[in-house]
Amino acid sequence: MTERHVVALGGGGFSDRDDARLDDFVLGLAGPSRPRVCFLPTASGDSADYVVRFYEAFRERAEPSHLELFGRPRQDIGDFLLAQDVLYVGGGNTANMLAIWSVHGVETVLREAWERGVVLAGISAGSICWFEAGVTDSFGDELAPLRCLGFLADSNCPHYDSEAQRRPTYRRLVDAGELPPGLAAEDGVGLHFVGTELAEAVAARPEAGAFRVEPGAETAIPVRRLG
């Protein structure tokens, strides 16, 4: 059976120009020395600046490409995504991203890619999207629960240390049963799943942490420091 990988980043990666270790970790799961990595910037409205930063970060160590869904998208979305070694989803508005993916059938292709062994990764919106649900600011300033793709069970919360309302809101939503129990990651942390099970948490920052959050309880998860 093909080994399936998801790396859900709480924050960091190529969005943080000063630290490439999380992205190196993701690329290392793909196998080839210069893996084909495709950026999906849907959540940011296909931000041109975001796409440029992606190419600047990956062009020396991979074969980068990106998929635009605004305007007139390419006709061969399925074949294009399935030909990649890594699919890397950017941050932004998760609810809008999921809606646009649904219109173009992208979520179906992503599941097939995952089942074929293409590495799925992403930051923020690109982190929570793989889970059953997550906490999001897609609907305005107030954080809210959101149903997601459900490749992975439970819920997810990124930016657990860098945004003041993330931690209390996520804990409140889990306590109230509005979100299932799940995993929270601080900036600089990647949650690596093999199949549907958490294999490990890795970090590019010395003090960054990851947590299991259940009703009435928050438990730190061991984190392996990269580099």
Active site residues: 124, 159
String of b and e for 51-68 (b: at least 16 CB within 10 Å)? Answer: bebbeebbeeebebbbbb
Give CA–CA dist 152/195, Å, rounded.
Answer: 9
Q: Residue 124 CB: number of other CB atoms within 10 A?
A: 27
Q: Which of 143, 149, 144 is nearest to 42 (CA)?
A: 149
Give CA–CA dist 121/23, Å, rounded.
Answer: 9
Report the C-alpha dihedral over residues 21, 23, 25, 29, rounded to 10 degrees.
-170
- DSSP labels, 62-101: SEEEE---SSS--S-HHHHHHT-SEEEE--S-HHHHHHHH
Q: Within its chain, how far is the Cα of 162 from the centroid?
A: 17
3-state helix, strand, coil in the chain (%, to 5): 30, 30, 40
Q: Please name the helix (run of DSSP H) or strand (run of DSSP E) that holds residue 52, with its range, or none.
A: helix 48-58
CB distance 157 to 122 below 8 Å: no
